[in-house]
């Protein structure tokens, strides 16, 4: 998102004036979320631990039941309030409002940046 905006701003002076506060906001959010973690704080994993994990995952995969790749399975759709539930939904046109590219329909700007964190810090990212 940030990179796309920067390319647009480099080529459109009028857009740059109106969008610069938004870009500064993105930079602020990214700076807050992406605090570097020193390498010494990252867990050290040995070759032996990696090999043990590979063996464990291989054994788990072997215990999975085999299925015929050509077999077609169908599951009935569940009913909720008389409507069929699917993974895709047509957005209600009466409640639709335009939003900038990259925003969710409610105007929320998702952070698509990844940061290096340890397992202890992953709970903080959910807040």
Between 126 and 33, whose confidence is greater?
33
Find the domain containing 126 and state its range: 1-41+89-127
pTM: 0.28
94 contacts 14 by C-beta, under 8 angstroms: no
Between 30 and 75, whose confidence is greater?
30
Of 41, 32, 13, 43, whose CA–CA distance to 113 is shortest? 32
What is the count of structural domains for the chain? 1
d(CA 89, CA 83): 11
Average pLDDT over residues 116-126: 48
Between 110 and 76, whose confidence is greater?
110
d(CA 127, CA 116): 16
Structural domain contains residue 97: yes
Residues 6+ apart with CB under 8 A from 97: 105
pLDDT for position 52: 94
pLDDT for position 51: 94
Structural domain contains residue 84: no
């Amino acid at each position: 998102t940030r990179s796309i905006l920067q390319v647009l701003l480099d080529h459109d002076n009028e857009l740059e004036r109106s969008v610069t506060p938004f870009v500064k906001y993105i930079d602020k959010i990214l700076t807050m979320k992406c605090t570097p973690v020193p390498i010494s704080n990252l867990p050290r994993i040995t070759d032996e631990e990696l090999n043990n994990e590979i063996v464990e995952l291989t054994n788990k995969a072997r215990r999975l039941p085999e299925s015929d790749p050509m077999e077609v399975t169908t599951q009935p759709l569940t009913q909720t309030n008389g409507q069929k539930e699917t993974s895709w939904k047509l957005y209600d046109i009466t409640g639709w409002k335009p939003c900038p590219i990259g925003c969710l329909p409610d105007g929320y700007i998702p952070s698509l940046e990844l940061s290096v964190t340890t397992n202890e810090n992953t709970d903080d990212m959910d807040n």
